């Protein structure tokens, strides 16, 4: 099975894989990911994490004002809007996570940044050869982040090959 082209709407079928079906130009479709919000116990500490690891640019701080449900800050990470809001941290660690794409050659750079903040790297899961490499780490409030070198296209190709062997 050929992997779908990026930018195509993906429709499921009964197999493990997906197939392209309708163009994203359909106005009733989701346009894009708008933003990601994390509830954190310490806005300044999370600001340092986002700036240090992700080169995030802070574009807004509510300071003592609350236009939403709590004090908040907004960041841009390579064009992606990330919001942090003050609140109680997650009570436990899970595998729910957000993954950011990085280049293979930058793995050591990101490892150094993560360890420099005193964050613990989580052991990566086992992988099929060719699906990319990952760094996993929890922030101070139990949010799991992944820095991944692979793409969806690569993963679908590798999984399709694995099922035919």
Q: Among all residues, which ones are annotated catalytic?
A: 72
DSSP three-state, residue 161: helix
Of 106, 47, 104, 57, nearest to 80 (Cα)? 57
Q: Give 137: exposed, middle or buried? Use CB within 10 Å, 0-12, 13-18, 19+.
A: buried
**Dihedral angle, C-alpha 107, 78, 51, 144, nearest 10 °:** -60
* Sequential DSSP letters for 48-85: HHHHHHH-PEEEEE-TT--SSSS-EEEEEETTEEEEEE
How would DSSP label each residue in 94-106?
Answer: -S-EEEEE--GGG
Residue 41 corresponds to which tokens in the numbers above?
């116990």
């Amino acid at each position: 099975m050929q992997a779908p082209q990026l930018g195509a709407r993906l429709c499921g079928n009964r197999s493990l894989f997906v197939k392209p079906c309708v163009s994203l130009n359909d106005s009733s479709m989701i346009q894009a990911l708008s933003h990601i919000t994390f509830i954190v116990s310490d806005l300044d500490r999370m600001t340092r994490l986002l700036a240090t690891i992700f080169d995030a640019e802070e574009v807004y701080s509510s300071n003592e004002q609350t236009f939403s449900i709590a004090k908040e800050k907004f960041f841009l990470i390579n064009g992606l809007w990330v919001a942090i809001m003050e609140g109680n941290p997650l009570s436990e660690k899970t595998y729910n996570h957000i993954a950011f794409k990085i280049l293979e050659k930058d793995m050591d750079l990101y490892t150094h940044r993560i360890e420099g903040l005193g964050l613990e790297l989580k052991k990566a899961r086992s992988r099929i050869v060719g699906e990319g490499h990952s760094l996993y780490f929890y922030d101070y409030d139990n949010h799991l982040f992944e820095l991944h070198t692979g793409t969806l296209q690569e993963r679908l190709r590798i999984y399709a090959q694995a099922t035919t062997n």
